[in-house]
């Protein structure tokens, strides 16, 4: 996946910058979760049990369905694979 800022994504998709940032953050977190799952050879069922989410929700999120996916749910997956999420905030570039 090519790195993209939320504002760049928002412009390309015609959505608000906030929605663009939300989508980029979720995608970055899910990518990290997928790497954690692969490294630990976990099944979706194991991740579901660790996260407290239904297996069907885990499978949907990890397969790229971001509709109705909250950051809270994604963070449960991050925790389930033993990762910690950190947030970095910086000033936006001038338009």
Is 60 domain-assigned? yes
Q: What pTM, to 2 d.p., does this model score? A: 0.83
Q: Where are the alpha helices (DSSP H) in the chain?
A: 6-13, 17-40, 44-51, 55-62, 71-80
Is 89 domain-assigned? no
Is 23 domain-assigned? yes
The residue written with tokens 């990890």 in the block is: 62
Interhelix angle 55-62/71-80, rounded to 10 degrees, is 100
Domain that holds residue 72: 6-79
End-to-end Cα, the chain, rounded Å: 25
pLDDT in tens, 29-87: 999 999 999 999 999 999 999 999 999 999 999 998 777 799 999 999 999 999 999 98
**CATH no. for residue 36?**
1.10.260
Is 85 domain-assigned? no
pLDDT at 1 over 50: no
CB-count burial class (<10 Å; 0-12, 13-18, 19+) for 27: middle
Q: What's the number of domains the chain is made of?
A: 1
pLDDT at 3 over 70: no
Q: Please give the pLDDT value at position 95.
A: 59
Is 56 domain-assigned? yes
């Amino acid at each position: 996946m090519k790195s993209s800022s939320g504002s760049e994504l928002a412009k390309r998709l015609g959505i608000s910058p906030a929605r663009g940032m939300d989508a980029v953050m979720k995608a970055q977190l899910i990518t990290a979760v997928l790497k954690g799952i692969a490294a630990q050879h976990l099944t979706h069922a194991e991740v579901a049990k660790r996260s407290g989410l239904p297996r069907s929700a885990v499978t949907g999120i990890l397969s790229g369905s971001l509709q109705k996916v909250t950051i809270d749910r994604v963070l449960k997956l991050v925790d389930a694979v033993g990762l910690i999420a950190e947030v970095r905030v910086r000033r936006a570039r001038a338009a």
